[in-house]
Amino acid sequence: MPVYAFKYGYANTYLIEDGDSFAAVDVGTFTAAEKIYEYLRGRSADTSSLRMVTATHFHVDHIGGISRFIRLFPEARVFFYVKIGDYMMRKDKICLFSFFNWIKEFLPILNACDNHRKNIPAALKSNWAAIPIPLLRKHLLSLHKVYCILDEGRPIPYLANWKLIKTPGHTNDSICFYNRREQALITGDTILNIKGGGELNKFCCDCDSIKASFQVLSGLKIKKMYPGHGDPLPYIDGIGDVLK
């Protein structure tokens, strides 16, 4: 059950191969969607084998390419965590970060990412939904059909060997995907790898919640970690080995 990383956006996009099907996680830009399409065509894989796309949380750098993705893979379904359904139904709003948090935590992350400038063209062509600043956060993804049914304890469609873990903190709807057999964790923006060794994200809506989420993740056996930003960490011995 390999995981393939695509670095064609501000955030990493991951393609999971599970049995005879594929699923994409965090398709953040127009270009990321197209690169996945090119990759599968290059493998001579039937593009209909890509069954679903999802996201670790509802931010523009993780969902901005989904509209393009659905045009390229019309048979794929969009599955989100149940909390995102509250946004789509206008029952809740995407959480905002404090001004202090933007200055102290976000700007250093942006400065450390070496790909943010070269990805500006891809971002401009992508869907500008789910931007966590006032006025813009009300813009939601416009798709034919979205299934906001993923939750902890429920099977994930087309990913029989993976489970969802709720990890609020960076956002209220943040989740991770864990494969116990492979001891692999897709962390979204809960854990980053900007500094080269992995770190808990400090750019958060709720810093206490992300510390609690870390405690949940620290109880898992993890050998491979796939962060939302920064290079994957394929050879580790648990989260404690990374976040020393």
E strand or H helix that includes residue 109: helix 107-112
Q: Is the pTM higher than 0.75?
A: yes
Report whether 157 contacts 199 (CB < 8 A). Answer: no
> What digits encode the pLDDT tens for the residues 60-106?
999 999 999 999 999 999 999 999 999 999 999 999 998 888 888 88
Mean pLDDT check: name the lowest of 36-40, 140-144, 145-149. Answer: 140-144
Task: Identify the pLDDT of residue 241.
Answer: 66
Q: Structure tokens of 200?
A: 């808990």
Provide the number of structural domains found in the chain.
Answer: 1
- The 10s digit of each residue's pLDDT in 181-220 is 999 999 999 999 988 888 999 999 999 999 999 999 999 9
How far apart are the C-alpha atoms of 177 and 228, rounded to whole Å?
Answer: 12
58 Cβ neighbours under 8 A, 6+ residues apart: 80, 84, 87, 94, 130, 171, 173
End-to-end Cα, the chain, rounded Å: 28
Instruction: Report which residue type is found at 147.
Output: Y
Beta-strand (E) ranges in 68-190? 77-81, 146-150, 163-166, 175-179, 184-188
Q: Could you tell me the CATH number of the domain that includes residue 231?
A: 3.60.15.10
Which structural domain range is residue 212 located in?
Answer: 3-242
